[in-house]
Amino acid sequence: METSFYHPTSLQDAINILGRNDNMVLVNGGSDVILNIVAKKIDPAGLVYLRDIQELNYIFEDDEYVHFGGNITFRQMLASPICQRIGGLRKAIEAVGSPAIRAVATPSGNIATAAPAADCATMLLALRAEVVLVSEDGERIIPQNEIYLGAYKTKIKENEIIKEIRFPKLKDRMGSGYVRISRRKAQDIAKIIVGATISLDEQARCNAATISLGALNSTAVRASSIENQLIGLEQDEAILYAENNFPIEAGLRDSYFKEYKKNVLCDAVAQAIKMAFLEAKGDK
């Protein structure tokens, strides 16, 4: 079947194309979608290329949120001073594929593909990201932790486009951490991904925490069993707690790496927490 290719230059044009045609697939960087096309997993009637929509190409922060547009690439994020300040996010982006992949691939695609071991999406989950979707039916906002239906499945409808991803701005005495365990340094699918944020009170005790886990379940998940227990703890107490308490949210399926993941996960969580504490204290 021949495949059409659409080059919308405005968000409204893209919305109209999706509204008028069936079996359309969105392409941004294409690093996931194109491989699915080549592998004949999908056979779209048309491809809608979002890269030329300038109104989706922005990164800014206001008093409440960090906002980035739906076609911002990982490379653009890495170059942004806003992302550079968030150590966990910076590390997560640096872990995505290779420089050539980061030049075209996007965090929007990372969330929409919903791969179980998505590096940046796992960190965004810890940052409490929200996804702004638009279609002919209007705009809706879904918290990222409610968007997944399973591996490679989301609640994003066929006629919807990710307009923006946003997450609450990290305030003073807040820090982020990210740990990834894989066999190779580059271009390897992680065996364990942990994202973390820690907020400290004036005595440097944790007063709020988020922990996200990737590559362990069918989707990235929050580990609230650990998060809740960190409240009131100092750095060393929090690390000790994480080292000795396995997150009940981690669903270890039977695989070659099951025992390895089981033995290593607590240390990975503890490392991510340590990084977030240090960043929160300004000791990055």
Partner 1 sequence: MPIVHFNLNGKYVTVEVDGKELLVDTIRNRFLLTGTKKACGTDDCGACTVLVNNLAVRSCAYLTCMAEGTHVVTIEGLGSPDHLHPIQKAFIDASAVQCGYCTPGMIMTAFALLEENENPSDEEIRIALSGNLCRCTGYQKIIDAVKLAASRRMQTKNHTWEEVK
Tell me: does residue 7 bind partner 1 (CB under 8 A): yes
Looking at 59, 104, 252, 264, which residue binds partner 1 (CB under 8 A)?
104
Nearest approach, Cβ of residue 42 and partner 1 (Å)? 10
- Nearest residue (CB) to partner 1, 171 versus 185: 185
The stretch among 15-23, 24-32, 133-141, 209-217 that binds partner 1 (CB under 8 A) is 24-32
Among 108, 94, 83, CA closest to 165: 108
Shortest distance, CB of residue 113 to partner 1, whole angstroms?
13
Between 103 and 252, CB nearer to partner 1: 103
Tokens of 181: 């365990």
Taking CB under 8 A as the binding criterion, the range among 1-9, 83-91, 168-176, 228-236 that sits at the site for partner 1 is: 1-9
CB of 182 to partner 1, least distance (A): 13
Among 13, 16, 21, 49, binds partner 1 (CB under 8 A): 49
Which range binds partner 1 by CB under 8 A, 25-33, 195-203, 238-246, 257-265? 25-33
Which residues contribute to the site for partner 1 (CB under 8 A)?
2-5, 7, 27, 30-31, 34-35, 37-38, 46-47, 49, 51, 75, 97-101, 103-104, 185-187
